[in-house]
């Protein structure tokens, strides 16, 4: 693989800086803390890190509400700290991707302060403003992802502004070419700092329907098996006018054109939509849009092997020359060990990770996933996430997957900090620290490393074609990966009992095996 296309088949390790490592004893992780732990990250054999937002922000949504795209929040450090992080990462052969949150800003951003001041100023049209209906209600029926109307009345400007998320996160108006130019210029700023690319938050939310037409009802939403979806009326609509608009393609082409000026840089788009697989294919095809994209289709509440196979096959059937990126955990969803694992054998999470790392495409692994961490149960009085606070107890929010990394058993707060951490550390996580797993050959951590080494040395696994093979057992997956005459079979038993995968191969519960000679000799790595 050449240096320009390093991202094809790469494994990207997501770091949530606030919860990774605290270097200055204030209870919050920071950039220096990330830098100090990069040797550990490199030992995982991953190709890149993705840093969740560290920009200046009032932290109402913990950095996903940016008030200055070029400044670093003081709790995380300085621009010089960031430059040192990038420099050390590159010395360790790690690429650095950073989150860019462009669909919206914080209401504390100077752009918004100017825009809301009057309908006639230089940035009056930088955000999405609309008049109230004659009866004083919002311009249309659009809903916020975080609950309630997507419109907030502003008494200064005497108009409503659009916010697809919190009401302190006004949406930028991408129909304004000045906004597009500014966003691209801010991306260029970080490319000049040495970053190797971007994870694009809510990449299908940039444009809205300029006619502000009402969204239609979603007839299947009421029977959704997802409890959090039933609690949030957002899923009652088909979101065809407030996101995923056709104009988005033109903006993605502008992004790709910019990144082409920096060979080897890349993009990962986050796609949240009912038709997310279709958008993943559309947004990554043609060689002039995003390099890769991931969706929430493997971030569902329940595991069914047939559904997982359907998702992957559906994408493969339509992606063409596009490129997928897969994730089973991140900072927005319950950790896979709990979400899919439920009360199953702990080995189930290993099997999930083994399957993930055997897929065609690039892979995102969330910090702590390599340790097998389960979701933390954060008590209501310690909750920080406004999403969880609003919908408690039906939906407990995202804090349970954002608790700090456990580094050392026997140290205060599992070695994350010597002060009270911003979120509590689960008592079970104290038993699963990096230090405890480091020298145990059969630990989850070292199984992860074996899987990573296997993936790195096996081109068919990293970039080869993928085909699912017939299997009579439910919740057992058998697939083949092939590249230039090399064919490798992979088999995964997600059940509690022994299962026959194919004649001559019976798998123990929660086991995974790989065959370097197309099904003749099987190797277990976990």
Residues labelled as active-site residues: 201, 261
Length in residues, the chain: 526
- The CB-based long-range contact list for 272-278 (8 Å cut-off, 24+ gap) reads 272/202, 272/204, 272/205, 272/296, 273/204, 273/239, 273/243, 273/244, 274/218, 274/238, 274/239, 275/244, 277/311, 277/314, 277/315, 277/318, 278/318
The closest of 503, 444, 496 to 478, measured between CA atoms, is 503
Let me know: does 96 contact 51? Beta carbons within 8 Å. yes
With H, G, I as helix, E, B as strand and everything else as coil, classify residue 236.
helix
β-pair type (129-130, 159-162): antiparallel
β-pair type (11-15, 362-366): parallel
With H, G, I as helix, E, B as strand and everything else as coil, classify residue 278.
helix
Strand spans (E) along 310-361: 325-327
Distance of CA 330 to the CA centre of its chain: 5
Give the 3-state secondary structure percentages of the chain, helix then strand then coil, rounded to 5: 30, 20, 50
Residue 192 CB neighbour total at 10 angstroms:
9
The rounded distance, in Å, linking the Cα atoms of 470 and 340 is 23
Residue 40 CB-density burial (10 A; 0-12 exposed, 13-18 middle, 19+ buried)? middle
The rounded distance, in Å, linking the Cα atoms of 287 and 267 is 12
Residue position matching structure tokens 């149960």? 377
The neighbouring-strand residues paired with 499 are: 507
Q: Which residue stretches of 54-117 are H helix?
A: 79-91, 110-117
Range 289-328 burial, b when 16+ CB lie within 10 A, else e: bbbbbbbebbbbeebebeebeebbeebbeebeebbbbbbb
Cα 275 to Cα 39, 49, 228, 519: the distances in Å are 39, 28, 19, 35
DSSP label of 430: G
The closest of 317, 274, 319 to 293, measured between CA atoms, is 319
């Amino acid at each position: 693989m050449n240096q320009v296309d390093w991202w094809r088949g790469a494994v990207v390790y997501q770091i949530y800086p606030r919860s990774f490592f605290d270097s200055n004893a204030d209870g919050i992780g920071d950039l220096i803390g990330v830098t100090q732990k990069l040797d550990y990250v490199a030992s995982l054999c991953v190709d890149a890190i993705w840093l969740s937002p560290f920009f200046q922000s009032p932290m109402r949504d913990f950095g996903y509400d940016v008030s200055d795209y070029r400044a670093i929040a003081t709790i995380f450090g300085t621009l010089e700290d960031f430059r040192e992080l990038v420099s050390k990462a590159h010395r360790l052969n790690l690429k650095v991707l950073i989150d860019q949150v462009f669909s919206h800003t914080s209401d504390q951003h100077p752009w918004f302060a100017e825009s809301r001041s009057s309908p006639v100023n230089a940035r009056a049209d930088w955000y999405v403003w609309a008049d109230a209906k004659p009866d004083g209600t919002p311009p249309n029926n659009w809903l916020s992802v975080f609950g309630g109307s997507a419109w907030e009345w502003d008494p200064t400007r005497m108009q409503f502004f659009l916010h697809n998320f919190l009401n302190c996160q006004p949406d930028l108006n991408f129909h304004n070419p000045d906004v597009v130019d500014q966003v691209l210029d801010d991306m260029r700023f970080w490319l000049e700092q040495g970053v190797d690319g971007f994870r694009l938050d809510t990449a299908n939310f940039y444009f809205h329907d300029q006619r502000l037409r009402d969204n239609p009802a979603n007839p299947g939403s009421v029977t959704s098996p997802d409890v959090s979806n039933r609690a949030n009326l957002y899923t009652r609509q088909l979101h065809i006018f407030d996101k995923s608009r056709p104009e988005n393609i033109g903006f993605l082409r502008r992004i790709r054109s910019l990144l082409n000026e920096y060979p080897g840089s890349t993009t990962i788009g986050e796609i949240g939509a009912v038709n997310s697989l279709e958008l993943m294919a559309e947004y990554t095809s043609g060689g002039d849009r995003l390099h890769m994209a991931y969706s929430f289709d493997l971030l569902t509440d329940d595991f069914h092997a047939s559904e997982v196979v359907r998702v992957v096959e559906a994408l493969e059937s339509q992606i063409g020359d596009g490129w997928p990126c897969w994730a089973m955990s991140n900072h927005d969803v319950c950790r896979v060990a709990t979400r899919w694992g439920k009360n199953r054998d702990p080995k189930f999470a290993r099997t999930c990770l083994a399957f993930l790392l055997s897929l065609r495409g690039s892979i995102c692994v969330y910090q702590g996933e390599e340790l097998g961490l389960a979701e933390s149960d954060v008590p209501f009085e310690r909750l920080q996430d406004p999403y969880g606070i609003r919908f408690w107890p039906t939906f407990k929010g995202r804090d349970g997957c954002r608790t700090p990394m456990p580094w050392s058993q026997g140290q205060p707060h599992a070695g994350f900090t010597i002060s009270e951490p911003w979120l509590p550390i689960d008592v079970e996580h104290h038993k699963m620290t990096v230090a405890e797993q480091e020298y145990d050959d059969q630990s989850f951590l070292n199984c992860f490393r074996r899987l990573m080494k296997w993936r790195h040395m096996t081109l068919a696994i990293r970039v080869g074609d993928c085909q699912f093979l017939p299997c009579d057992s439910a919740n057992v997956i058998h697939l083949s990966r092939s590249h230039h005459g090399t064919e490798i079979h992979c088999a995964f038993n997600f059940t509690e009992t022994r299962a026959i995968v194919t004649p001559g191969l019976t798998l123990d519960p929660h086991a995974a095996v790989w065959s370097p000679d197309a099904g003749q000799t099987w190797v277990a790595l976990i």
